Structure 1
Amino acid sequence: MSGLQAVVKRKLLRSLYFAFDLAVMGAVLVLAGLFYVHEYGETVVNRHSEKLILQESSIVAAADGTVLRRIPLPESGYRMKAELEEMPALLVDTFLAVEDRRFYSHQGLDYKGIARAFFNNALQMQVSEGGSSITQQLARNLFLNRDKNMLRKLNEASIALALEKRLSKHDILQLYLNQIYMGEGQYGIKAAAEHYFGVTQLKELDIMQIAALAAIPKGPSIYNPADNSGLSVKRRELVLSLMWKQGLITHEEMKAAVKEKYQPPSIVRERLIGASYIDAALTEASQRTGKSKRDLQTGGYTIVTGMNTAAQRALEEAFQNPNLFPPDGKDQQVEAAMAMLDHRTGDVVALTGGRNPSTGNLNRAVVDARQPGSAFKPIIDYGPALESGLYTPDSVLPDRKTAYGSYKPENLNGVYRGQTTMKIALQQSINAPAVWLLKQVGISKARGFAAKLGIDLPKEDNNLSIALGGLHTGVSPLKMAQAYSVFASGGVFREAHTVRQVIDPKGHVLYTYNAGQRQAISPLTAERMTGMLQSVVDEGTGKKARLNRPVAGKTGTTQLDLPGISSKANRDLWFVGYTPEWTAAVWMGFDRTDKDNFMTAGSGMAAALFSTVMSNAMEAR
């Protein structure tokens, strides 16, 4: 063999060996890729299977069924889920025609679509077309980001194959139609149908509306029907043409739908009300059901509350009127909170935790943080005395300056009458008789009476200062309203509640308020207390709470008591009272009371706010 032949032979062998190595490497890479595609998708879906259960906006409703709020999802959008059977066949077929014609014939990957996209991308020298099946789109939307690169496409394909193994075609399509983003914060077909067309029953959608919905996924921000650029109309016409070509509609139906103009729903979107109320209701629903607030917000639940929308609006409108509040401080606004109950049922009919409440803010109506002052006297002094049977409204009590060890209570105006009746002592909010009466009845019995009204005092309150509302931690307006509601209802305790029912997405009742009641105090005690509290409004410190119907109630004031500050400076202003229908508690004050932020107004302002809110609420209900 010549030298030349040997050289050629060696080169040929090297080429063959190189080709063999390449083939082996290629085979290894292909096998590795197949293994990756098989394992990656299975792993991701198994580890994050919770993503196959879509979050759904829960609904908070008023007592009359009015939807108060659809709670936004964490991604700041809204979703209402629908079964595939709720959707008209034409809508489903149209989405398949637009998004994935071969959906029922492939196993997650539409190879023809992929080949077409690959060819077009190669021509344009960039990844501009995906060729993704519905399963791939679902895989991307649930588990991946929207980056356009080869690794993401490989991961998308892998997850799509895993989804096809795990779920039926029915379930994949249903998930897709509920998950897909439809513009303007709407997720899924049902939310979009209501948002854009006011249609709540999907089978009521007409041909134009179906085409408009199917046009959106290609570009939710520019192809939704509310877009004014005209792009959505052109896209809708393209979809209608496709529907006709696929034999889904007739030519006449297509032409009629093309002529149909989009009309946004004629729903008057009223100002949202009840931010504080809804926060309180979600907290209560969580306590009653054992579910987290997040689960309740994103699980598609319906939370039916006891809110009376007329009362809530009247309350919030009054809280927007600065003339009903004391002047602001140097660097703070005077705050306020109010809770209103229907003492005949225990429903909280209205509630606000501040003058400008918003979701998640401090809810002053439910926080036990304020000293009730003289508004606490019926609960801790006069109520227990009446219940003991040893005293009546006409009982004569001493009104003298008395020291109880280191505790030396004084009448606010420094005037002492020597003696007075219980009725007058309460009516004029005289301190000395109240403390004396608590001493006679006993702190233990008085605290037991308060507990029957829903106020459990801690051991730190085992002292006579509670006679004038000096509490260790304070009390909330809601608890004060709850306590007075027992007087209003003839001595019957009905637990104050914001939540009537919690219903799951399938319509099953998860929780219903048990309207149990108990005779907490004697009817006679309640009757006598009501008579005394009416005299407070008619002739005493609560005159500004008067209405054109009977009102019983009590004012309360706590002084600032800081060195160098006027003795007229106040920390808390209260009025708690009731009509035959409703009981309410009002508090006013600063979040941080100091030398620059205090009130010189008296509790008459709280009484006047009570009167304004109750009057307007009853007129509107």
Structure 2
Amino acid sequence: MQRFLRVLGFLLATGFTLFVVAVVVVVAAYLYVAPDHPDVEVLREVEMKVPMRVYSRDGRLMAEFGEERRRPLAYEEFPERLREAFIAAEDDRFYQHPGVDYQGLIRATINLIRTRERTQGGSTITMQVARNFFLTRDRTYIRKISEIFLALKIERELSKEEILSLYLNKIFLGHRAFGVAAAAEVYYGKTVDELSLAEMAMIAGLPQAPSRANPLSNPERAVQRRGYVLGRMLERGIISQEEYAEAVMAPVTASHHGAVVEASAPFVSEMVRQHMLDAYGEDAYTEGFRVYTTIDPERQDAATAALRRGLMAYDRRHGWRGAVGQVAMPENPDDDRAWASTLASYYRIGGLEPVVVAAVDEAHFEAVNRMGERLTVDFDTMEWARPFINRARVGDPPEKPADVVMMGDVVFLQNQGDRWGLAQVPEVEGTVVALDPQDGAIIALAGGFDFRHSQFNRAVQALRQPGSAFKPFIYSAALENGFTAATLINDAPVVFEDAALEDVWRPTNYTGRFFGPTRLREALVHSRNLVSVRVLRDVGVWPTVRHLEPFGFEDHSLPRDLSLALGSGDLTPLQLTQGYAVFANGGYRVDPWFIERIEDRHGEAVFTAQPATVCPECEQPELANGYLTDITAPNDENDAVTTAWHPDLFDDELSPSQPLRPAERVINPQNAYLMDSMLRDVIRHGTGRHAMRTLGRRDLAGKTGTANEYRDAWFSGYNPDLVATAWIGFDRSQSLGPREGGAGAALPIWTDFMGQALSGMPERTLEQPAGMVSVRISRESGLVVGADHPNGMFELFREGELPEREERSDQEDSAADDLF
């Protein structure tokens, strides 16, 4: 008995000692790690890393930027079964333990003793929250101790619902998906409330090894984990046996889903990304900004499609350059998978599909795409493929498929609806950019054939010579300096010795012909070079430059010599479009802008643009004395990226809560109307008449442009609702080839775009301003004539600028005396 008591006393003493030691160790461990513990309260206001999203004007997603894909949700937004699936898989005693599951820790300790490896962590959901938000993922004992104490602290200060919500929003689930909502999008293209039971279980099985055992990287392992989760849910009574049986046998339907782009405008999205990076630094990618642009998705699609069609049409006119690559034939030519594997380094460009030629016969060839599908290409889709020789010459037309392709060739195909046709990626590039002339909003911008193929944004980065597309601005300066639309200028050979040009200069007309005395209107309609040069000489280079600068052209882009008359300055397509907007809106300068509103992650606006907007009413004396005169314009930093909301300009009542920045008038309304009238004649009778024949609209105005040696082809034009420019050329400047000028290469692209962009919109022209009269003049002399004149026509003039009356013979009808 005494021996028993001694043993019992020893055991009690030992136990007490061990208990004291354990308490001391725990306290010491706590004191060691506690100073580094953060304030758990910050979890209540934690800001998840959320990517930046870019939207069109009507709220369609255009792009997403950020390393982590995340969609934070509130607790109640997670379906109950989804919450239960994670609890069953990761922490089935979540609602019972105080943050640390001692049973789990004991199991992990026994496993460590048995295997001498840390293969089980025993972490609860709360411990994972502690690690994910505050600690590293290093597998050390100190980190584990910190995790335990921090988990206990979190449980004391946060509710179970708050902890689970943080976990489901933070956990990494593979393929850049952080949080359950992001995983639902990445793997299934769904929101969390659209997931099936099998899909919920698949996602709930990912935390153990999200990179190695997800349904895309390792479907077999992912299915095993799904089965484990479903089994645990069945054991806990969350699902029935029938639901379990159905879900465990469900096929794997996961596939990678990128951000669901609803409106494709990659060049504009990149402009937004660069601006946001400049404004916010790296925080732009993580702070959840939502950027709303000025882009109209339908018109953007029209711009992209018109540009691609136009570039491919040009490319076909200049022949077939051959296959883009050659691959070795597999051992079995009928093995389509083997053929497909040879295309690993090729990708779609501008909607064109890369394929490898697997067989060729007399009527067609067969090709295999990257998916291993065999496609048939008929010979009539490749009859255009005359061999390219140079920009001026092509070879003889092919007579059979073998004249164009051979087995092993890598070529591109175009989907032509019910069949595939041979295509090639154009070497030539181009752009279409469109603005709202009332406030300068960029409505559509296609900066090249394909953004993935080339990120160079030609709409805003390509400095090129606009050629004759610049002439309207020269003529506008002439109208301000004593010329009229009826002024006669001699279209005849001329030689200039201009010191600024450092040589003798002999400009010529596009056709090489000369037409003698020509009215200013007719000269613009038919793009007479010699007339433009003489006009600039008579007005003067410096007075002309002073007239042009308010249009928005940068000073360095305007040469101080007579070549300015032929568009020798370097402009971007966007700058030229901005200039034409002045004619389209009746004489006001508007600056291009593309960001309408920036919101933070909570939906609060952090930036709202106030673009300078055309407001004829603002010029009235009663408004000039009102609050509008006190509006302070944004500073230069904001002006650099003017962007978004603006009020209804014609409300009956203007209030300071809806401030308006009136656009600056840079030419008078009579000048703008005369230029609009002449540019509409270019469409009706001149170099732009293809647009009139194609679209049949009478409210269109514009001008072609061709740079020296056919290096650049342009068309800029508008109606009062939309102004647009189409440009085509090579990035490394070279000739487009004979007859590839503005009318032949660029105008069809512009016409294609405007036909779609203005579809369903009524015709609208500028209202004739006061102070103008229409009189009958002679086509030959430009002088006023009577109604019976055999070659008379009506012309517009500003009051006080009427030409003289043409002298008449005595036999002329006296009824013509009283012209007015």
TM-score by length of 1: 0.77
Structure with greater contact order relative to length (CA < 8 Å, sep ≥ 6): 1
Partner of 1:118: 109
Structure 2 residue 707 is the aligned partner of structure 1 residue 558: yes
Alignment of structure 1 residues 413-452 onto 2, 5 Å: 413=509, 415-452=513-550
1:215 to 201, 205, 209: 205
Secondary structure, in 3 states, of the residue corresponding to 1:186? coil
Aligned-partner Cα distance in 2 for 1:493–1:508: 31
Instruction: Say if 1:362 and 1:159 are closer, same or farther in 2 by CA, change over 3 A.
Output: farther
Match of 1:391 in 2: 483
Aligned to 1:18: none
> Which residue matches 1:570?
710
- Partner of 2:555, secondary structure, is coil
Aligned partner of 2:446 in structure 1 is: 352
1:549 aligns with 2:542: no
**Corresponding position of 1:602:** 741
Check the 8 A contact 1:82/1:190 in 2, yes or no.
yes
Select the residue among 278, 288, 301 that pairs with 1:313. Answer: 301
Map residues 408-487 of structure 1 onto 2, 5 A cutoff: 409-413=505-509, 415-458=513-556, 461-471=559-569, 474-487=570-583
Deviations 1:375-396 (A, max 9, x none): 11212x112233x273332222
- Residues 316 and 247 (structure 1), Cα distance of their counterparts in 2 relative to 1, 3 Å cut: same
SS in structure 2 opposite 1:553?
Answer: strand
Closer/same/farther in 2, CA of residues 409 and 527 from structure 1, 3 Å limit: farther
The share of aligned pairs that are identical, in percent, is 33
- TM-align CA RMSD: 4.4
Cα 1:354–1:620, aligned 2, differ >3 Å: closer, same or farther?
A: farther
Cα offset for 1:274?
1.8
Cα distance in structure 1, aligned partners of 2:753 and 2:555: 30
Structure 1 residues 35 and 364, CA gap change in structure 2 (3 angstroms): farther
The offset of 1:309, in angstroms, is 2.5
Q: Is the counterpart of residue 614 in structure 1 residue 754 in structure 2?
A: yes
Give, in angstroms, the shift of residue 134 of structure 1. Answer: 2.8
From the superposition, tell whether residues 332 and 227 of structure 1 become closer, same or farther in structure 2 (CA, over 3 Å). closer
Unaligned runs of 5+ in 2: 1-21, 322-389, 392-424, 615-662, 762-820
Alpha-carbon contact 2:99-2:126 (below 8 Å) kept: yes
Distance 1:446 1:291, change over 3 A: farther
Count of matched residue positions in the alignment of Structure 1 and Structure 2:
572
Match of 1:588 in 2: 728
Indicate how the Cα distance of structure 1 residues 243 and 39 shifts in structure 2: closer, same or farther if over 3 A, else same.
same
- Which residue type is aligned with residue 477 of structure 2? P
1:223-242 to structure 2, matched below 5 A, reads 229=219, 232=222, 235-242=225-232
Which string of whole-angstrom CA distances, capped at 9 and with x for unpartnered residues, describes residues 320-357 of structure 1?
65223475889992221221223355332221222222
- How far does residue 151 in structure 1 lie from its aligned partner after superposition? 6.6
CA deviation after TM superposition for structure 1 residue 436, in Å: 3.4
Matched, 1:503 2:599: yes
CA deviations on 1:278-319 (whole Å, 9 max, x unpaired) are 1123345667xx434x43443323222232333323332341
Q: Please tell me whether the aligned partners of residues 293 and 594 of structure 2 are also in contact (alpha carbons under 8 angstroms).
A: yes
Q: 1:521 deviation in Å?
A: 3.0
SS at match of 1:576: strand
Residues 477, 169 of structure 1: alpha-carbon distance in 2 compared, 3 angstrom cutoff = farther
Moved more, 394-403 or 159-168: 159-168
What code does the residue aligned with 2:746 have?
A: A
Question: What letter is aligned with 1:340?
Answer: A
Counterpart contact for 2:292–2:598, Cα < 8 Å: yes
Q: Within 5 Å, give how 1:19-418 maps onto structure 2.
A: 37-39=33-35, 53-69=47-63, 71-74=64-67, 77-101=68-92, 103=94, 109-138=100-129, 140-141=131-132, 148=139, 153=144, 172-196=163-187, 199-200=190-191, 202=192, 210-220=200-210, 229=219, 232=222, 235-246=225-236, 248=238, 273-283=264-274, 290-292=279-281, 294-317=282-305, 318-319=307-308, 322-325=312-315, 327=318, 333-344=427-438, 346-358=440-452, 361-367=455-461, 369-379=463-473, 381-386=474-479, 388=480, 390-400=482-492, 401=494, 403=496, 405-406=498-499, 407=501, 409-413=505-509, 415-418=513-516
* Contact 2:183-2:203 at 8 Å conserved across structures: yes
Alpha-carbon contact 1:127-1:149 (below 8 Å) kept = no
- The answer to whether the Cα contact below 8 Å between 1:275 and 1:359 also exists between their aligned partners in 2 is no
**Alpha-carbon separation, structure 1, partners of 2:156 and 2:446:** 51
Structure 1 residues 295 and 520 mapped into 2: Cα distance closer, same or farther (>3 Å)?
A: farther
Structure 2 residue 636 is the aligned partner of structure 1 residue 540: no
Change (3 A) 1:56 1:438: same
Q: Could you say which residue in structure 2 is the equivalent of 1:8?
A: none
8 Å CA contact retained: 1:447, 1:456:
no
- Report the Cα distance in structure 2 between the residues aligned to 1:270 and 1:507, rounded to whole angstroms: 20
Q: Deviations over 1:575-618 (max 9, x none)?
A: 21124543211222222236xx7644322211222223333455
For 2:579 and 2:477, how far apart are their aligned partners in 1? 13
Distance 1:359-1:100 versus aligned 2 partners, 3 A rule: farther
Asked if the contact 2:533/2:562 (under 8 Å) is kept, the reply is yes
SS in 2 for 1:78: coil
Question: Is contact 1:499–1:513 with CA below 8 Å preserved after alignment?
Answer: yes
Instruction: Tell me by how many angstroms 1:484 deviates.
Output: 1.1
Q: Any unmatched runs of 5+ in structure 1?
A: 1-25, 560-568
Query: How far, CA to CA, are the matches of 1:167 and 1:433 in structure 2?
Result: 81
Against the structure 1 CA distance between its residues 460 and 224, is the aligned structure 2 distance closer, same or farther, given a 3 Å change threshold? same
CA shift for structure 1 position 276: 0.9
Give the Cα separation in 1 of the matches to 2:113 and 2:233: 30
Q: Is the 8 A contact 1:285 1:499 kept in 2?
A: no
1:555 aligns to what SS in structure 2?
strand
Deviation string, structure 1 residues 537-586 (Cα, Å, up to 9, x no partner): 33333344443133321122222xxxxxxxxx333222211245432112
Please give the alpha-carbon distance, in whole angstroms, between the structure 2 residues aligned to 1:585 and 1:484.
9
Distance 1:459 1:205 in 2: 57
Aligned 8 A contact 1:324 1:609 in 2: no
State how far apart, in whole Å, the 1-side matches of 2:301 and 2:526 are.
33
For 1:514, the equivalent position in structure 2 comes to 610
Match of residue 530 from structure 1 = 676
C-alpha contact (below 8 Å) 2:73/2:169 kept by paired residues? yes
**What letter corresponds to residue 350 of structure 1 in structure 2?**
A
What code does the residue aligned with 2:301 have? R
Deviations 1:100-138 (A, max 9, x none): 345567676544423322222332332222222334434
- How far apart in 1 are the matches of 2:558 and 2:98? 70
Are the structure 2 counterparts of residues 570 and 143 from structure 1 closer, same or farther at C-alpha, using a change threshold of 3 Å? Answer: farther
Deviations 1:233-279 (A, max 9, x none): 55445434434544556777767766877777999978973211211
Distance change in 2, residues 1:419/1:144 (3 Å): farther
* Distance in structure 1 (CA, Å) of the matches to 2:603 and 2:590: 27
Distance 2:126 2:50 in 1: 21
Alpha-carbon distance, 1:192 to partner:
2.5
Alpha-carbon distance between aligned partners in 1 of 2:154 and 2:463, rounded to the nearest angstrom? 53
Q: Hey, what's the Cα distance between the residues in 1 that align with 2:533 and 2:31?
A: 83
